[in-house]
A and B are shown apart, each in its own frame.
Chain A
Amino acid sequence: MTDRKPIYLMTPALAWLTAFMVVPCLLILALAFFQRGTYGGIVYELSLDNIAQVFDPLYGRIFLKSAGIAALAATIAVVIGYAAAYAIASMPRRHQPILLFFAVLPFWSNYLVRTYAWIVLLNREGLIVSFTRAVGLEGELPQMLYTETAVVIGLVYNYLPFVILACYAPLSRLNPEIHEASRDLGASEWTTFRRVTLPMTVPGIATGFVFVFVLSIGNFVTPALLGGGQFQMIGNLIYDQFLTSNDWPFGAALSMILIAIMMGLLTLQTFASEKASGQQRSEKVDD
């Protein structure tokens, strides 16, 4: 029975997850099927109205908009993060840990502080504006703070370390001789990157993308601070239902859909990377 022992070691984690993840999710799920009282509160009568309301074009548009912003942020983060991870992985081995440390350093500061920092940078009298004036650029800069662009910048900035770490892992594991083999067979550096390095590191890219996407689509702090309430993302909408409109059942319905989207993506990503790592495992099959 020695092989069953490790299962007992999971008990604390499972208990924790059940108490603080599964149960609240189930509560939210249940809540989504009740109704809002006239003056807030919950009326315990079953109905599908909330779920139906989520698919109202008004809210559908907010979902799409959020997904669009999350996808844009994830794409930009992946491009920048992959390039950074590639650069770090090509440095001498002994320098890599310290470079990674610096890349991830902002991550250890408070999320709010980091986001406020962007307000300081982007606002009308902020550092970027002062800088362009100082170097003698005339003319009015377009409004930067409280735009969609600012939100995307904030999201990319905040989640970039995830992508760097996710892409660095497979890049640093590549056998340098595979790169050399490609060059030896007549490929240029660029072709080698396109046909060998990139395909072999797709799992890292997928992980990075899904992480940024999932964390961005439900984010409400960055849109609130950098978007200035100009537009709502799905996270803000949910926030409002619970804390402003007091419509918990509708908030719960929105949350359920959001959680479903996230779970779907994460499951997809898990399967994809499972398949890819299975392929690269060098187990031998004799025939």
Chain B
Amino acid sequence: MTRPLLSLANIEKRFGELRAVNGVTLDIHENEFFALLGASGSGKTTLLRMLAGFEIPSSGSILLDGRDISQVPPNHRPVNLMFQSYALFPHMSVAQNIAYGLEMERLPRSEINQRVDEMLSTIQLAHLAERKPHQLSGGQQQRVALGRALVKRPRLLLLDEPLGALDKKLRGEMQLELKHIQNTFGITFIVVTHDQEEALVMADRIAILKDGALLQCGSPRDIYEYPIDRFAADFIGIMNFLPSRVDAGALSAADGSRISALLPGDLKSGDNVLAAVRPERLRLGAADAENCLSGQIRAMAYHGLDLHLHLDTPLSSQPLMVRLTADAAEGHPFAVGEKVTVGWSAHDTRVFTV
């Protein structure tokens, strides 16, 4: 296995009593698109600021290319940060903003001009090169901030909520564009986001932070399909939770009915657990499935691509959410109050301790 580009060992950051980052150990590899995902206040920005050099870890080490950089000042790290507020220089034009970082490297003027021009066309702002930041739209400012950091060709590019201020449609486009840019430049990206969907779409690997600690780290698929605990399952996507109890190698739900699942080995009979199943794993009318139950439609939500049904079931006080694709919903004129039967297989059931 090759040496990781970045290696965090037991990083901790305390602000007085508060542990903003609490014992994070993590390896990030060359060319990875890595997402840090967590709720507000979970320590994402603090972790990023330690990588950029604006905070010094209270303990632990940060190795970049095998060298400990945790005490190196920000201007001497081959790392750049794209700020959540963009932090563009208001008195400089777009081109001057982008050139600034190269001027600090004392590159010859001709090379600076050439790289600035290339970057301007990469971020599609060549026609606005002479504008000042306040004359740009939010999306354009975001691209200047990206270009200004990217033009330095850092070993590691840190992006703090890069798409946070954009509207939904633009976000979708920019997610793909960021991924494309990361691919072409071959630069390692660490993106902070609190939008789980964004993380799933963009990242090669995702780390979930909770209260400053690393909860789970893995590929988007792992994170989505095999959440490590109830919090992770709830945080990523939508999950139906069914309170139940372990009973002789199977689960028995609140109303006594059985739920088939692949049980982890460490559960004993009588343990209280949560059975969980994703809405898209529920199939309509599947009376032959390993798990089957019927419920009454409480509400429906049409999303174009799919149809969400909220069912009242005897299994849980919470409505069960079913997500049907447009195809599966075709030809069913569902009505509120109607009774429907849904089923799912044992291997789609996740089991979490409470």
* Interface, chain A (partner B; CB < 8 A): 175, 177-178, 180-188, 191, 195-196, 199-200, 279-287
Contacts and interface: CB of A to CB of B under 8 A. Distances in A.
B293 to A, nearest CB: 52
A186 B136 contact: no
Contact of A200 (B84, B90, B105, B148): B90
Quick one: which of A181, A182, A188, A281 has the most chain B CB within 10 A?
Answer: A181
A185 B80 contact: yes
B87 to A, nearest CB: 4
A183 B74 CA distance: 6
Given A175-B85, A185-B101, A279-B90, 19 more contacts: A175-B87, A178-B88, A180-B83, A181-B83, A181-B87, A183-B75, A184-B80, A184-B149, A185-B80, A186-B75, A186-B152, A196-B89, A200-B91, A280-B90, A280-B134, A281-B134, A282-B133, A284-B138, A286-B137
A287 B104 contact: no
Nearest to B134: A282
B87 A284 contact: no
Contacts of B137: 284-287
B29 interface: no
B134 A186 contact: no
Contact of A199 (B54, B80, B91, B104): B91
Nearest to A178: B87
Interface string B62-99: 00000000000111000011011101111100000000
Contact of B54 (A180, A188, A191): A180
Nearest to A276: B91
Nearest to A200: B91
Contact of B101 (A186, A188, A281, A284): A186
Nearest to A280: B90
Given A186-B104, A279-B90, A287 B74 contact: no
B135 interface: yes
B321 interface: no
Nearest to B160: A177
Contacts of A175: 85, 87
Interface of B: 52-54, 73-75, 80-81, 83-85, 87-91, 100-101, 104-105, 128, 132-138, 148-149, 152
Contacts of B54: 180, 183-184
Closest 6 CB pairs of A and B: A186-B104, A185-B101, A181-B87, A177-B87, A183-B74, A286-B137
A285 B136 contact: yes
Contacts of B152: 185-186
B73 A183 contact: yes
Nearest to B106: A186
A30 B160 CA distance: 66
A84 B81 CA distance: 31
Quick one: which of A183, A191, A282, A283 has the most chain B CB within 10 A?
Answer: A183
B85 A279 contact: no
Nearest to B101: A185
Contacts of A181: 81, 83, 87-89, 148
Given A177-B85, A280-B134, A287 B75 contact: no
A283 B90 CA distance: 12
Contacts of B75: 183-188
Quick one: which of B87, B101, B137 has the most chain A CB within 10 A?
Answer: B87
A286 B136 CA distance: 6
Contacts of A180: 54, 74, 81, 83, 87
Contacts of B133: 282
Nearest to B145: A181
A186 B84 CA distance: 19
A192 B231 CA distance: 43
A171 to B, nearest CB: 15
B87 A185 contact: no
Contacts of A188: 75
A142 B248 CA distance: 104
B90 A182 contact: no
Contacts of A182: 89, 100
Quick one: which of A178, A186, A196, A200 has the most chain B CB within 10 A?
Answer: A186
Contact of B83 (A177, A191, A196, A287): A177
B173 to A, nearest CB: 16
Nearest to B52: A184
Nearest to A176: B87
B157 to A, nearest CB: 11
B128 A287 contact: yes
Contacts of A196: 89
Contacts of B149: 184-185
A191 B100 CA distance: 11
